Amino acid sequence: MNPSRRDVLLGGTALLASARAFGQSARPKRFIAMYFPNGCFPQSWFPGGGETSFTLASSHASLEPYKQHCLFFAGLDLKVAVSGPGEQHQRGIGAFLTGQTLQTGTFVGNDGTTSGWANGASLDQLLIPLVGRGSVAPSLQLGVRCNERDVSGVISYSGAAAPLLAQNDPSQTFKTLFGQVPGPPDEMERRRRRRASVLDAVKKQFPISKRNLSKADAERLDRHLDEVRELETRVAGLPDNPNCPPPAAPPDVAFTSEASMGQVAKLQADLLVKAFECDLTRVATIAFSDAKNHIGMPFIGITSGVHNISHYGDSNPDRAELATRDRWVTEQLAYLVKKLKETPDGNGTLLDNTLLMLGSELGQGNTHSHDNVPLILAGHGAGFRMGRYLKYNRTSWNDMLLGIYKGFGGTGDTFGAAGFTTGALPHLT
Amino acid sequence: MRRPGSLKLLVLLVVAGCKTQPPPDPCTSSLRATPARLLTRFEVDNTLRDLLADGTRPAQSGLPAEPLALGLDNNTDVYTVTQPFQSQLLDLAEAAATRAVRDHFTDLVPCSGQDLACGSQFIESFGGRAFRRPLSGEELDTFNQLFDTALTAEGFNAAVETTVTAFLMSPQFLYRLEPFDETEGAQQLDAYALASRMSYFLWGSMPDEVLLGSAATGALLTTDLEAQTARMLKDPRAAEPPAHFFSLWLHADAISGLEKDPAMYPAFTPALRTSMKRSLELFVSDTFAKSPTMSTALTSSTLFVDDQMGGMYGTGPVTPGSGFMRVEMPQAQRTGLTTQPGFLAYLSAPDQSSPVRRGVFVLEKVMCLTVPPPPPSVNAVPPDVDATSTTRERFAVHTTTAGCSGCHTLIDGIGFGFENYDGMGAWRDLDNNKPVDATGEVTQATDEALNGPYNGSRELLTRLATSRQVTDCMATQWYRLALGRVETEGDRCSVTQSQEAFFEAGGNFDGLRAAIVKSPGFRAHVREAAP
């Protein structure tokens, strides 16, 4: 359960086996993890009522039509994020999908303390060998103004200290998935041949270059070569989707600006659904900004920094503005659920074969606590019994990560850093 | 004035040249290896300019941004390739190759035959510049093969284009690879590797022909080092790494994403934001175009304004469409790097200035002091804005509350000095109709001369500009930039030499850079024993 980077990249070989493991379903399983920073406004987040009879809180109004496709949670603690290097936001985002502590390093956190990257692979990457890979990319890391280029802006890791940084520009997402805007077939073919011979010559440079380097440098070049091979597969595979013509290229947007977040979120979501529909990829993460932002969200009327708002005391009426942000983030989940539900996939819809996860790195921003961290799951991709509200009692977040991993057919008794898993989360199925 | 330590080092190097085994040098014996360094976007763009006469700077927006380690973009421990990097690099390399063949074909190809023989000549001459050293026989073979295949398939020009693309995607171009011999520990650095270390540190770009020539004869390793350093520092390219360093240091990129509360700052628009960032970049380039000192950098009263900024920043209106004007401001109003409008707007809250963020910046980046984090029980929230009090009055709660006052006397004692600048970085004499109080006090400086009360940011910055603590702090950050990693205990001797040289040079940045190039840490080649 701690695969090497090569195993993750070669996840394709597991495809056939996993398709058989899922028996009757010929359609691949997919996974989307969505992250938002600074915790939630609990008063408007947690549902009221019991497991099967519950009412949604105001932040989740947009999920009302999809309630039976969702699981709502309370009582999960991101316990592993309490210890190790870094400040609370850094530790929280690092552990969000990895269940790991951080390494020591040079990334300066909100309060001046420093840390490195997370110490292991993230759930999304560990799922690739289980679900297999699509024809273009083993996974996508999408960002919606996730600008931090260090531990505060990364949720996906292919291994310890091997971060996968988010792509914030929908145009780049489009390029990754669909290559160039299509041209005449002979021009496409000429380009493909040329690229293949360029990458072939580039690959030949690696054994030559590696001689006389230190072991660490030779390993660095090996990792680089893995990425070149990955690109080679993608370049070779691009025109092979006759039944899935690419959508129109997205418009240019000011993707670094918080004012564009709404537009970017929709463009990224649309491209992702298309990628699932065409089986270009099966695993994705979306980060709605990073764990070090002091931004407003002017497009939904929040002009003061969300990070600061999240810090306000519970009695401060301004802190309720955080609920506006929570509502917007939940709407992004609802939008994806809706699109997936509308898209046929085999005999059902994409929602039948996808699991979505939405959560944060903190419980509450004002206490920086990692207790009762917000989480929603949606979709039927992991075979969980949906339409319920599950209340746990100080249960480790790593149990939940393991529960999802096993839901996709994974095995093992622990997830992430040693000592933070008591077993796969019960009651999911 | 050469320090005794570096004299000793020179003697050791001469001895090493005579093939006698030198005794372990305390300056290099515990140095960390310098790992293979991936070119940053800044370096790729400069290299394309010098290699292909391509001034389009495609990497800046075409490759993923580097992770920042202690504020720097070239930290080799964290800057590694990713999937998006590879596919974006392919696009970038193809487009650059297309432009090169279209616009600079005759510069690129040194012969006129449209055949494989001419192709081989091109590969040898271009390859030697792209890889910053002559190509090995094996390397020549692989590129000749590629050229041959492409020549047959698509003709001569397309073969050149294809080959340039492959060069730009090769590890020998993308990384600075420094070969070792079989021995472990410190060893003689390959002359070409040294040339690249120097050119990327001093120019942010590839070596030129003169430098490669000095590497070819080996003179660079011995007698020619100082002359080459001096020559390179006089070249206009030498102004670019400082401009880049200070853009990072001042978070110029973050200005592009800045938002302000429109109720508080109705004049703040995306166009103004763009102008502020450009103004900051122009200030930095202008300041470092002429061999500046720490003192000019921290106290210059120059300001660049365009029609967006004119009027708001105390300069009077600027005619639309006339671009940026260089203005000498009244001395009280602008004092160097840390009072640039865009930077101060960045170190502010959306609805008010931020004495805390400004104070922490000066403490950490100018004075190299570590500011302890707030205790976990504290809500680190700026006070609410109200129309009757000054920012300073609202923040005063920090310095009067038990549990906060310890650190905030330190932080706000500096941050309050910048209170004449509002949340957009504009000068103000009044804050909510009350006179601004920009007095403060420096406490806990290790340089005793820095401690004590002052009035206003100009007095504060003038004091900082000549302090040994501040020049030492800057020298350390430049040493990190030069080596692409954070210093360790093994670097102490090299860092100390660089700090002393910087101070003795009157805070002159060229003096600092020459000292870093000469330092053992910069020139050492260490093969760490396998663990």
Amino acid at B288: F
Residue A311 in contact with partner chain B when CB distance is under 8 A: yes
**pLDDT under 70: residue ranges of chain A:** 1-25, 110-112, 180-183, 237-243, 293-294, 304-305, 307-308, 311-315
Between residues B51 and B388, which one has the greater pLDDT?
A: B51
Amino acid B22: pLDDT: 53
Mutation site, A5, A103, A136, A149, interface B, largest B CB count within 10 A: A149
B283/B155 same-domain check: no
B66/B127 same-domain check: yes
Dihedral sign for Cα B452, B456, B461, B462, please.
negative
B301/B333 same-domain check: yes
Q: Is residue B499 part of a domain?
A: no
Residue A176 in contact with partner chain B when CB distance is under 8 A: yes
Cα distance from N-terminal residue to C-terminal residue, chain B: 41
Mean pLDDT of chain B: 89
Over 60: is that where the pLDDT of B154 sits?
yes
Residue A256 in contact with partner chain B when CB distance is under 8 A: yes
Q: At what angle do helices B509-518 and B191-202 cross, to 10 degrees?
A: 160
Mutation site, A221, A294, A362, A366, interface B, largest B CB count within 10 A: A294
What domain range includes position B24? Answer: 4-32+180-238
Contact between B249 and B365 under an 8 Å Cβ cutoff? The reply is yes
Name the residue facing A198 among B36, B166, B350 (closest C-beta): B166
B434/B292 same-domain check: yes
Helix runs in B324-404, H state only: 341-346, 355-361, 391-400
Amino acid A301: pLDDT: 82
Among the residue ranges B185-189, B342-346, B408-412, B457-461, the one predicted with the least confidence is B185-189
The token pair at B170 is 């090769």
Q: Name the CATH code of domain A5-175+253-407 (choices 3.30.365.10, 3.40.720.10, 3.40.50.300, 3.90.1300.10).
A: 3.40.720.10
Q: Is residue B290 part of a domain?
A: yes
Using CA coordinates, name the residue in chain B closest to A107.
Answer: B69
What is the distance between the alpha carbons of residues A261 and A286, in angstroms, rounded to a whole number?
Answer: 12
Between residues A186 and B130, which one has the greater pLDDT?
A: B130
What is the distance between the alpha carbons of residues B146 and B255, in angstroms, rounded to a whole number?
Answer: 45
CB count in 10 Å sphere of residue A426? 12
CA dist list (Å): B188 to A191, B132, B182, B192, B529: 44, 18, 12, 12, 16
Q: Which of B15, B484, B19, B372 is nearest to B7 (CA)?
A: B15
DSSP letter for B366, please.
I
Q: Is residue B77 part of a domain?
A: yes
Mutation site, A209, A255, A290, A299, interface B, largest B CB count within 10 A: A209
Amino acid A22: pLDDT: 42
Percent residues over pLDDT 90 in chain B:
68
| Residue pLDDT, tens place only, B287-319 | 988 778 999 999 999 999 999 998 888 888 898
Residue range B32-37: average pLDDT? 87
CA dist list (Å): A112 to A89, A106, B104, B343, B482: 12, 10, 49, 19, 24
Amino acid at A192: R
Amino acid A364: pLDDT: 82
Residue A346 region, left (φ>0) first, then alpha (ψ -120 to 50), else beta?
Answer: left
Q: At what angle do helices A321-342 and A261-277 cross, to 10 degrees?
A: 20
Shortest alpha-carbon distance between residue A23 and chain B (Å): 32
CB contact under 8 A, B381 and A190: no
Amino acid A256: pLDDT: 84
Amino acid B5: pLDDT: 41
B357/B417 same-domain check: yes
Amino acid B493: pLDDT: 93
What is the distance between the alpha carbons of residues B334 and A286, in angstroms, rounded to a whole number?
Answer: 42
Over 70: is that where the pLDDT of B241 sits?
yes
Q: What are the backbone dihedrals phi and psi of residue A283, each rounded to the nearest 5 degrees, phi first?
A: -135, 135
B160/B214 same-domain check: no
B114/B9 same-domain check: no
| Residue pLDDT, tens place only, B191-207 | 999 999 999 999 999 99
Please give the tally of structural domains in chain B.
3
| Residue pLDDT, tens place only, B136-147 | 999 999 999 999
The token pair at A96 is 């969000």
Contact between B201 and B516 under an 8 Å Cβ cutoff? The reply is yes
B112/B132 same-domain check: yes
What is the distance between the alpha carbons of residues B420 and B430, in angstroms, rounded to a whole number?
Answer: 8
CB contact under 8 A, A116 and B86: no
| Residue pLDDT, tens place only, B377-418 | 555 566 777 778 899 988 887 877 777 787 888 999 999 999
Using CA coordinates, name the residue in chain A closest to B382.
Answer: A308
3-state secondary structure chain A: CCCCHHHHHCHHHHHHHHHHHCCCCCCCCEEEEEEECCECCHHHCCCEECCCCEECCHHHHHHHHHHHHEEEEEEEECHHHHCCCCCHHHHHHHHHCCCCCECCCCEECCCCCEECCECCCCHHHHHHHHHCCCCCCCCEEEEECCCCCCHHHCCEEEECCEEECCECCHHHHHHHHHCCCCCCHHHHHHHHHHHHHHHHHHHHHHHHHHCCCCHHHHHHHHHHHHHHHHHHHHHHHCCCCCCCCCCCCCCCCCCCCHHHHHHHHHHHHHHHHHHHHCCCCCEEEEEECCCCCCCCEHHHCECCCHHHHHHCCCCCHHHHHHHHHHHHHHHHHHHHHHHHHHCEECCEEHHHHEEEEEEECCCECCCCECCCCCEEEECCCCCCCCCEEEEEEEEEHHHHHHHHHHHCCCCCCCCCCCCCCCCCCCCCC
B24/B95 same-domain check: no
Amino acid B23: pLDDT: 58
Task: Tell me the residue length of chain A.
Answer: 429
Q: Is residue B371 part of a domain?
A: yes
Task: Break chain A into its structural domains and give their ranges.
Answer: 5-175+253-407, 180-237
Q: Which pTM does this prediction carry?
A: 0.83
Name the residue facing A221 among B84, B150, B171 (closest C-beta): B171
The token pair at B187 is 């060893």
> Does residue B22 sit in helix, strand or coil?
coil
Q: Is residue B529 part of a domain?
A: no
Name the residue facing B170 among A175, A202, A258 (closest C-beta): A202
Q: How confident is the model at residue B220 (pLDDT cuts 50, 70, 90)?
A: very high
B153/B224 same-domain check: no
Using CA coordinates, name the residue in chain B closest to A233.
Answer: B87
3-state secondary structure A205-231: HHHHHHCCCCHHHHHHHHHHHHHHHHH
Last residue of a domain, one of B414, B441, B465: B465
Name the residue facing B162 among A112, A194, A304 (closest C-beta): A194
C-alpha count within 13 angstroms, C-beta hemisphere, residue A270: 15
Q: How confident is the model at residue B272 (pLDDT cuts 50, 70, 90)?
A: very high
Between residues B387 and B346, which one has the greater pLDDT?
A: B346
What ipTM describes this predicted complex? 0.88
Over 50: is that where the pLDDT of B260 sits?
yes
B158/B259 same-domain check: no
